[in-house]
Structure 1
Amino acid sequence: MSRLHDMGGRFGDGPVVPEPEDVIFHADWHPRAMALTVATGAVGAFNLDMSRHARESLSPKDYMRFSYYEKWLGGLANVLTQVGVVTREELAGTVDPTPSPLAERKLNADRVAGVLAKGGPVDRPSDVAPVFAAGDLVVARRFADNADVSGGHTRLPSYAAGARGRILRLHGTHVFPDSNAHGGGEAPEPLYAVVFAAAELWAHPEHPHDEVVVDMWQSYLTAAT
């Protein structure tokens, strides 16, 4: 299954044009979209990986025409209806909304600063032992797909699938998004920084001696032979 959102390293999309660092939002409703997403996430009905998968699951037509925060709102509507927090009819305004028992857990304004300062760390203890060390040669899984859920969420980018790289460092054990996005639990496993030569990733790189560092979970990798 092709993944429309998996655009990293893809040709034909034009140059990346950096914006001034002081430009965060381009419209008045953008910060409201972000605030709504963060506030509803606090009720605990979905997790970060489920939210990402919901955005990725937008129809190709919508994904390509939506702006960044339109994708956020579209994904939020998807995940809220999928987990039963709201109904499509409530979102469309065709029925009166029903008060949710989760409403008391929403993120109110007086809690925002503390919650954002705390962050959302995803490192976890795990019984899964690292099998690679710095300097080991590895090969990324040949296909950038979820090994357990057809069409499911994965953080393995297509441009690195099947590529040969070198372990730079171990980040520790972290929540495995391929599982967490689909109700399979956090299933933490070792996460590595893997170095790939640009010439390994693309047939005609502009700078063939450049290197790309990609964070990859252990189950994405096998030892190079």
Structure 2
Amino acid sequence: MTRVHDMGGRFGDGAVVPEPEHEVFHEDWHKRALAVVLACGALGKWNLDISRHARERLKPTDYARFSYYEKWMGGFATLLVETGVVTRDELAGNAEPAPSDLAEKAWKPTEIAKVLSKGGPVDRPRNVAPMFAPGDTVIARPHAENMKVSGGHTRLPAYAAGARGTILRLHGSHILPDAHAHGFGEAPEPLYAVVFPASELWAHPEHPRDEVVLDMWQSYLKPTS
């Protein structure tokens, strides 16, 4: 069963309306929300996939009513408490903050530009042989679920589950989010760009000849024969 965040291709949510290119933040606090979440990633208490899963675990009613950065802050609060960075009382302002042994890991202002310019590459040396090549026809796993953790994180969208597509290219070997979000290590495996016809994804596509390209890990796919 997928969570409320898995909204791709869902009927009734209206058209996607691109925002003006110059409009990066709608409110001043959005900048601070982005900054504090990125900065606390340096504490080493979680990774990108754990962070994504924290946002996915928001209550459906909260997820539906929260704005984009409110979702970020909701997941962030969960991570701070679950990993012991702060207590619930400290987070709620009901206790005096205690000195933290994590303070020395905080980014210094002079380090920020250098750290952010490096990014967070998730490609890894290959340790699993690719099963597919460009042009191969594949079928996505029939259920958009984590195969190890019930209700766990996965990057397989529900609308593509069970769909038939064609391998466009191999991206190399990348960290598997389904494992990385739950403490099972990086478990890198081949990652492919897969082309799906719109008619394969939806019963009544507005433009049946359109195509959708999705990046999919090898364990998400199986051969057609």
Scaled to the shorter chain, the TM-score interval is over 0.9
Q: Which residue of 2 aligns with 1:55?
A: 55
Partner residue, 1:24: 24
Return the alpha-carbon distance in structure 2 between the equivalents of residues 176 and 96 of structure 1.
39
Report what 1:178 is aligned to.
Answer: 178
8 Å contact 2:123–2:173 — kept in the other structure? Answer: yes
Give, in angstroms, the shift of residue 107 of structure 1. 2.0
In structure 2, the partner of 1:128 is 128
Q: Is the 8 A contact 1:123 1:175 kept in 2?
A: yes
The AA in structure 2 aligned to 1:156 is L
Question: Any idea what the Cα deviations from partners look like across 1:57-81, whole Å, max 9, x if unmatched?
Answer: 0001110111000011111011111
Code of the residue aligned with 1:136 in structure 2: it is D
Deviation at 1:2, TM superposition (A): 3.1
Counterpart AA for 1:118: K
Please state whether the residue corresponding to 2:50 is helix, strand or coil: helix
- The answer to whether structure 1 residue 44 and structure 2 residue 44 are counterparts is yes
Aligned partner of 2:111 in structure 1 is 111
Give the AA of the match of 1:91: L
**C-alpha root-mean-square deviation of aligned residues, in Å?**
0.8
In structure 2, C-alpha distance between the alignment counterparts of 1:183 and 1:131, rounded to whole Å: 26
In structure 1, stretches of 5+ residues that fail to align are none
Is 1:85 aligned with 2:85?
Answer: yes
* Inter-partner Cα distance in structure 1 for 2:108 and 2:24: 22
Structure 2 gaps of 5+ residues are none
Query: What is the CA-CA distance between 1:103 and the residue it aligns to?
Result: 1.5
Q: Is the CA contact 2:126–2:172 (under 8 Å) kept in the aligned structure 1?
A: no
Deviations 1:159-179 (A, max 9, x none): 000000000000000000000
Is 1:200 equivalent to 2:196 in the alignment? Answer: no
8 A contact 2:2–2:144 mirrored in 1? no
Q: Sequence identity, in percent?
A: 68
**Maintained 8 Å contact 1:54/1:79:** yes
CA distance in 1, matches of 2:109, 2:206: 48
Shift of 1:37: 0.2
- 2:222 maps to what in 1? 222
Note the C-alpha offset of 1:98.
1.8
Q: Which moved more, 1:98-107 or 1:41-50?
A: 98-107
CA displacement at 1:115 relative to structure 2? 1.2
The Cα shift of 1:126 comes to: 3.2
TM-superposed deviation, 1:110: 1.6
Partner Cα separation in structure 2 for residue 218 and residue 79 of structure 1: 29
Question: Following TM superposition, by how much is the alpha carbon of 1:123 offset from its aligned partner in structure 2, in angstroms?
Answer: 0.2
Q: What code does the residue aligned with 2:64 have?
A: M
Normalising by structure 1, report the TM-score.
Answer: 0.98
- Tell me if the contact between 2:2 and 2:158 (Cα under 8 Å) persists in the aligned partners: no
The alignment of Structure 1 onto Structure 2 pairs a total of residues equal to 225
- On the 8 A contact 1:43/1:107 being kept in 2, the answer is no
Q: Output the amino acid matched with 2:181.
A: A
In the alignment, the residues of structure 1 paired with residue 2 and residue 156 of structure 2 have an alpha-carbon distance, to the nearest angstrom, of 13
Q: Which amino acid aligns with 2:147?
A: A
What TM-score results when the alignment is normalised by the length of structure 2? Answer: 0.98
| Separation of aligned partners in 2, 1:175 and 1:107 | 25
Deviating 4+ runs (over 3 angstroms):
none
Q: Is the 8 A contact 1:39 1:108 kept in 2?
A: no
- CA–CA distance in 2 between the matches of 1:120 and 1:65? 30
